[in-house]
Chain A
């Protein structure tokens, strides 16, 4: 498999944006319900839970779960 320019740029971005203090998937999952509810009511979830927000920018699996949860909650609102 070949990496194209875009993928290489993403790797460089990923390295550049790395913080010493990042939460892992477990901590993100624990707060995901709270984060999702903040988003749904239009509050600034990124300000309230910045480490969750940051993790979701980096972690495809967690972001996928967050988006699915939002979709589920919008239906049930």
Chain B
């Protein structure tokens, strides 16, 4: 079967009779999603079909944003993958709320208070780790906003999907990434101002 060019795809999907092109695109998305998802995620064939269908609607609505910098089918597959993974993340994290991931210690800011007690360290190593940990804890408590601490705890501590954390914080993934970026930047600047090198910090936590 002849591969459509990008221009042919756009013309067919925008044309008076897009059915053939839709059918072909749908089949393409299903094949790609099936390969990407079936073995790695808990999905059924019906899920794959549903994701492809939902993606098709988004693709048609976004046609004017296609810039032709890649193949049309790659661009479309990207949208399909995001559609599928968004739903899979929602399922995976469905029963988790943010506060399940917060440290269960006295101070809600104590992200680093979740550190498991070190084992087999010398007194000097214990001291170094405790001091480094205390410094980081102090900086997190004083340099970050409450929202930044919450996001950091959930994403970096709890390993939760950025998208799912954003949903629970009434924001979007892009804004949450920027919030965390700002948080990281603040901490970096604060550590540099205190004369810390990162190699020093990392070497402290290399010890077990």
Contact = CB atoms under 8 A, between A and B. Distances in A.
B7 to A, nearest CB: 17
A47 interface: no
Nearest to B104: A1
A40 to B, nearest CB: 9
Nearest to A67: B36
A73 B74 contact: yes
A10 B155 CA distance: 12
Interface of A is mostly: helix
Contact of A12 (B80, B82, B163, B201): B201
A69 interface: yes
B37 A68 contact: yes
A3 B69 contact: no
A33 B69 contact: yes
A15 B35 contact: no
B161 interface: yes
A46 B101 CA distance: 34
Given A8-B115, A26-B174, A15 B188 contact: yes
B198 A16 contact: yes
Contact of A36 (B28, B35, B78, B89): B78
**Which of B40, B82, B133 gathers most chain A CB within 10 Å?**
B82
Contacts of B156: 7, 10-11, 14
Contacts of B173: 25, 61
